[in-house]
A and B are shown apart, each in its own frame.
Chain A
Amino acid sequence: MVARMVAEGLVRGEADQARLLGGRRRSDGKMVFPLPGGDGAAAFEAVELPTHGTLWSFTVQRFRPKPPYDGPGDEGSFAPYAVGYVELPGAIIVESRLETQHFDRLRIGMPMVFTLQTFRTDPNGQDVLTYAFRPADGDER
């Protein structure tokens, strides 16, 4: 079964070709993320955001969030995950899950690269993807 994104309009393209979508306000060029939907959408044009950036700040989510979080497992099986802001040069600073288990290697300023991450699996077996960034120097997984 083909995986699906957690929400429409977050990215353009699939797999290795996927790009995170931001918006550029037509009136003044101001960048936003996510790309606004609904009545606000007309004021923005969709922009593919850079795939490479640097870590602006980070933390680790150590307890299972309350709803509406719908990640896998329960409090007993919860695995902490890293979260951060990634500065995408010339564009915007984006909040994201960080794909790494080496929390102690995270440093402000380290190079990061865009990726898609399987965030959970639906009851029917379909993988649900979200966007993420991982350390660009590899060897992190």
Chain B
Amino acid sequence: MTEVHIIGAGIHPFGRTEGRSGLDQGQFAAEQALADAGLAWDQIQFAFGGSAAAGNADALLPRLGLTGIQFINVSNGCATGGSALLAGYWAIKSGEFDLGMVVGFDKHPRGAFNADPEKSGLPRWYGETGLMLTTQFFGMKIQRYMGLHGISAETLGRVAEKAFENGARTPHAWRREPVGLNVIMSSDLVSDPLTKYMFCSPAEGGAALVVASDRKMRELGLSGPRIRGAAVRTRVAGSFEVFSPSLELERGPSPTQIASRAAYEMAGLGPEDMDVIQIQDTESGAEIMHMAENGFCADGEQERLIADGQTRLGGPMPVNTDGGCLACGEPIGASGLRQVYENVQQLRGRADGRQVEAARLGYSQVYGAPGLSAVAILEA
């Protein structure tokens, strides 16, 4: 059976880069990924790319080379990057291709995303009356979770504190200064119980990966982490998702839970096997809830695990080692690929200043509106 490896990885630093378009940042990442593998664009057989606010991803083609390859634009909300990777994975797994690129970039205006009710099939009043905000959903999901499972506001603060600590050690991060717990806790509320420092911001950046079959990788004399499992799943009836005017009384699992299970099953591995973990942290609460939804702990255990520093660098289950979305910001097209880029660096022993010792298995999960999750498990 064909195995899929990541043999090159590139990133344009996340954050705000004045004077450089989203497309420029995508090109930068793509060229860096090619250089990382020592390959030229005309060797690439296919590409999947995504950008939400910086033009079509295939606008990269005139810049990288009009070689006539299959290039498919991917649009899957905040999970666009994870979805592009999954498409590349299956393209090689199927045997149709054996060398390709997945790429994502973006450049968003400042401030919270504004949502269009019609695009989500929702009535206009839902937006007009001020109910259609992703920030409200995140506030309400963690508010309920805290009530049910005994998570304190201080734990929300500790997640953000860790993110900025890790970001300070990461060249591609945006927020590169530690922020004290008191500052985080006493900053302005955005959507209760979440403060300004507990939310990530829309941002800019680019990330790209070169994927290859095991056969092609050997033929080229290259190496790189193997994708052991990868899955995208969408919401089911009863899951609590963004932009929901109502919820069913009978509650169900989240798309993250089912994507996670599918990826573990594919890999023949479990959460206890993972050495380094990247999970969606749109805000502090999301990281806490995603720890449980991805199987890394039971509901409520986060309170103790985080207080004990177990998710920090040097702890037994390091989470979001590059500072995650909180420290890197969230350029939609690139965000999921940044997580995988970080795992590739960790598994190749190149994560200077934040290296998880002897990391062999890396886990990543990106969540996006209107309710989907993309998971990838890599093995060094």
Q: Which A residues lie at the B interface, using CB under 8 A?
A: 6-7, 10, 22, 30-34, 37, 56-63, 65-71, 81, 83-85, 87, 90-97, 103, 108, 119, 130
Binds A, one of B126-134, B208-216, B319-327: B126-134
Task: Flag whether B357 is at the interface (Cβ < 8 A).
Answer: no
A93 close to B249 (CB less than 8 A):
yes
Q: Which B residues lie at the A interface, using CB under 8 A?
A: 111-112, 114, 116-117, 123-125, 127-133, 136, 139-141, 143-144, 147, 188-193, 244-249
If A62-B192, A68-B117 touch, whether A57 touches B144 (CB-CB below 8 Å) is: yes
A61 close to B111 (CB less than 8 A):
no
B128 close to A70 (CB less than 8 A):
yes
A57 and B114 alpha carbons, distance in the complex (Å): 22
A23 and B133 alpha carbons, distance in the complex (Å): 24
Of all A-B residue pairs in the complex, the 9 with the closest CB atoms, nearest first, are A59-B139, A66-B114, A33-B246, A68-B127, A57-B144, A7-B125, A93-B247, A57-B140, A60-B192
B248 close to A31 (CB less than 8 A):
yes
Kindly list chain A residues whose C-beta atoms are within 8 Å of the C-beta of B139.
Answer: 59-60
A65 close to B130 (CB less than 8 A):
yes
B248 close to A83 (CB less than 8 A):
no
A87 close to B249 (CB less than 8 A):
yes
Kindly list chain A residues whose C-beta atoms are within 8 Å of the C-beta of B112.
Answer: 63, 65-66
B133 close to A62 (CB less than 8 A):
no
Kindly list chain A residues whose C-beta atoms are within 8 Å of the C-beta of B144.
Answer: 56-57, 108
A127 and B371 alpha carbons, distance in the complex (Å): 35
B248 close to A95 (CB less than 8 A):
no
Kindly list chain B residues whose C-beta atoms are within 8 Å of the C-beta of A81.
Answer: 130
Kindly list chain A residues whose C-beta atoms are within 8 Å of the C-beta of B129.
Answer: 6, 69, 71, 97, 119, 130
Kindly list chain B residues whose C-beta atoms are within 8 Å of the C-beta of A95.
Answer: 131, 244-247
A6 and B128 alpha carbons, distance in the complex (Å): 9
CB distance from A26 to the nearest CB of B (A): 17
Selected contact of A92 from candidates B116, B191, B249, CB within 8 Å: B249
A93 close to B136 (CB less than 8 A):
no
B245 close to A94 (CB less than 8 A):
yes
If A7-B125, A57-B144, A130-B129 touch, whether A32 touches B246 (CB-CB below 8 Å) is: yes
If A57-B144, A83-B136 touch, whether A63 touches B190 (CB-CB below 8 Å) is: yes
A103 and B193 alpha carbons, distance in the complex (Å): 11
A6 and B125 alpha carbons, distance in the complex (Å): 6
Closest to B127 in A: A68
B114 close to A67 (CB less than 8 A):
yes
Kindly list chain B residues whose C-beta atoms are within 8 Å of the C-beta of A71.
Answer: 129-130
B114, B130, B143, B249 interface centre (most CB from chain A within 10 Å)? B130
A-B contact sample (4 more), CB < 8 A, given A33-B245, A81-B130: A63-B112, A85-B140, A92-B249, A94-B245
A123 and B245 alpha carbons, distance in the complex (Å): 28
Kindly list chain B residues whose C-beta atoms are within 8 Å of the C-beta of A108.
Answer: 143-144, 147
A103 and B129 alpha carbons, distance in the complex (Å): 19
A93 and B240 alpha carbons, distance in the complex (Å): 11
A97 close to B140 (CB less than 8 A):
no
B248 close to A93 (CB less than 8 A):
yes
If A68-B117, A83-B140, A108-B143 touch, whether A61 touches B133 (CB-CB below 8 Å) is: yes
Kindly list chain A residues whose C-beta atoms are within 8 Å of the C-beta of B249.
Answer: 31, 87, 90-93
A67 and B131 alpha carbons, distance in the complex (Å): 11
Closest to A66 in B: B114
Kindly list chain A residues whose C-beta atoms are within 8 Å of the C-beta of B192.
Answer: 58-60, 62, 103
A56, A63, A65, A69 interface centre (most CB from chain B within 10 Å)? A65
CB distance from A21 to the nearest CB of B (A): 12
A69 close to B128 (CB less than 8 A):
yes
A85 and B139 alpha carbons, distance in the complex (Å): 12
CB distance from A23 to the nearest CB of B (A): 10
CB distance from B29 to the nearest CB of A (A): 29
Kindly list chain A residues whose C-beta atoms are within 8 Å of the C-beta of B189.
Answer: 60, 62
Interface CB pairs A-B, < 8 A, 19: A32-B246, A34-B245, A37-B123, A56-B247, A57-B140, A60-B139, A61-B130, A62-B189, A62-B190, A62-B191, A68-B124, A68-B127, A71-B130, A81-B130, A84-B140, A92-B246, A97-B130, A108-B144, A108-B147
Kindly list chain A residues whose C-beta atoms are within 8 Å of the C-beta of B248.
Answer: 30-31, 92-93
B116, B124, B191 interface centre (most CB from chain A within 10 Å)? B191
Kindly list chain A residues whose C-beta atoms are within 8 Å of the C-beta of B247.
Answer: 56, 85, 92-93, 95
A29 and B249 alpha carbons, distance in the complex (Å): 13
B246 close to A94 (CB less than 8 A):
yes
A63 and B140 alpha carbons, distance in the complex (Å): 16
A58 close to B140 (CB less than 8 A):
yes
Kindly list chain B residues whose C-beta atoms are within 8 Å of the C-beta of A10.
Answer: 125
If A66-B112, A85-B247, A94-B245 touch, whether A58 touches B128 (CB-CB below 8 Å) is: no
